Structure 1
Amino acid sequence: MGALMLAEGGTFQPPGADSFFLPPIAGGVTKPMVLVIASAIIVGAYFLIATRNLKLVPGKGQFVAEFAYEFSRNKIAREQIGAKDFRPFVPLIFALFTFVLVNNLFGIIPIIQFPTMSKIGFPIALAAVVYLVFHGVGFARHGFLGYFKHIMFPPGVPKPIYILLAPIEFLQKFIAQPAALAVRVFAAMFAGHLILLVFTLGGEYLLMEASVAFKPISVVAFAFAIALTFVEALIQVLQAYIFALLTANFIGAALAEGH
């Protein structure tokens, strides 16, 4: 990206991909690594504390914990996998939803202000787990050859069409779907954080470095940064939901008797 200079101040260097490469805190440990570990501790500690003394009329902490669990169980796992098979997968769906959600929300928490899922390695790692699970249960349910038949040769399709359809279905299930699962949340978090950086750092530059004529524009930049923070919060929640939803959908499709 090019630099920008407005009269009196120094040069404004717009944030870019290099803004996501943070220096190590100590040794080879970086801020995203610490945040990933912290998120797991936060999720585990919160639900342990919130459910330690369950009450018939829940307090705020218990209510949030129960809502998150019920939502993951009934609105995601049950609906996507089916009432017959969903129960063993509830812990996975619940863990993915809450883990991705906390890591996304780190991007708008003061001082932290870094969405962990904007580092592509973390979404890839989660997608790899999902990949092993949904293909693993598919092979277990249908058998090795039966699973390939299940995903590549859906019933009711004219046989000549299989020549074109079978490789497409194979690529979709084994490459495209898991890749899209990782890239979707990464791209959303990367782009959202970058936009917030542009308006925040741009506003700071206009206020501190630009000439007097341009300083009032900093108010507009900061206003956009605040408004976009709320939009980003919504996107962060939606991306966690979509990640868990697609995971459950992949598992449900792998277990289904029909295509």
Structure 2
Amino acid sequence: MIALTLPAQDGGSFTPPSVETHLTPFFSIGGFEFTKQTLLVVLSVVIIAWFFLAAARKGKLVPGRLQYAGELGYNFVRNSVGQDVIGAKDYKKYVPLLFSLFFFILLNNLFGAIPLIQLPSFSHVSGPYFLALLVYVIWIGMGVRVNGLRYFKLAVVPSGVPWYILPLVVPIELISNFVVRPMTHSLRLFATMLAGHLIVMIAGSGIEFLLAQESILLKGTSLLVLGGAIAMYMLEALIMVLQAYVFVLLTAIYIEGAIHADTH
């Protein structure tokens, strides 16, 4: 927690509660900084790999708890996202990507709800930017692979639009599909993780600040702040799950739009 000292009306000083969002790196190699976020990303890969390898190690007709949990997670992404959005004909080849993205984002988001860790990895924008760029390259690449260079025309010229409206529609579609789409894909994840994280942290700092006051009334007010912080904590946990789902759902929608551009 950081402190900002301001002059008070009585001539003293007032230190409002605040939080530190830039963490000191554990070590640096050239321009690369190994921070807590980096450690959590590496840890998430290890945990996900261990869990699903362990779940699949002894496949049984009647699954145990671990195998059932692994199959449930896999089937959710495979059927509810891949098959339902991309279509039964083409979805299978994209399931590994969607599956990996979903659980990678989900676990890194849920780190923010785990006591002592309490830091969603994607509350720093570099991670969402990288994932959005990866998806951006994939869906454009698949669009070109399936439709050839004609894909770029299909992406910016909607079917059935009169020719005299095209000078207005084409620039809008170009900006929307190739500029706004990847930006919103990344910033949606980053902004929600950062905002939820900051709200809970500031509420916790506010409780600490109120408890340190001499006034009994202010100390009692900290209970109201605590109630609000618990509610926001539960809401943030829900948003963590939803944002992992939304990111992967949009990925599937973009891929489906790219490979089926000629039918839209």
Structure 2 length-normalised TM: 0.90
Q: Does 1:24 align with 2:25?
A: yes
Question: What is the count of residue pairs matched by the alignment?
Answer: 254
The amino acid that maps onto 1:52 is R
- Residue 234 of structure 1 corresponds to 238
Distance across 2 between alignment mates of 1:51 and 1:39: 18
CA contact (8 A) 2:26 2:36 kept: yes
Q: Does 1:35 align with 2:35?
A: no
1:107-122 pair list within 5 angstroms = 107-122=112-127
- Residue 90 of structure 1 corresponds to 95
- Residue 206 of structure 1 corresponds to 210
CA contact (8 A) 1:153 1:162 kept: yes
* 1:213 CA displacement: 2.8
- Residue 45 of structure 1 corresponds to 50
Greater relative CO (CA pairs within 8 A, separation 6+): 1
The amino acid that maps onto 1:239 is Q
The amino acid that maps onto 2:45 is A
* 1:153 CA displacement: 1.4
Of 154, 167, 172, the residue aligned with 2:171 is: 167
CA contact (8 A) 2:5 2:14 kept: no
Distance across 1 between alignment mates of 2:99 and 2:213: 47
CA contact (8 A) 1:10 1:209 kept: no
The amino acid that maps onto 1:20 is T
Distance across 2 between alignment mates of 1:237 and 1:190: 14
The amino acid that maps onto 1:252 is E
- Give structure 2 stretches of 5+ with no counterpart: none
Q: Does 1:247 align with 2:251?
A: yes
- Residue 65 of structure 1 corresponds to 70
C-alpha root-mean-square deviation of aligned residues, in Å?
A: 2.1
Of 231, 256, 263, the residue aligned with 1:258 is: 263
SS at match of 2:59: coil
Distance across 2 between alignment mates of 1:236 and 1:10: 35
Q: Does 1:225 align with 2:229?
A: yes
The amino acid that maps onto 2:85 is Q
What fraction of aligned residue pairs are identical, expressed as a percent?
42
- Residue 128 of structure 2 corresponds to 123
Q: Structure 1, residues 112-161: CA drift from partner, whole Å, max 9, x if none?
A: 000111100000000010001000000011111x1112111121111111
SS at match of 1:51: helix
* 1:202 CA displacement: 0.7
Q: Does 1:102 align with 2:107?
A: yes
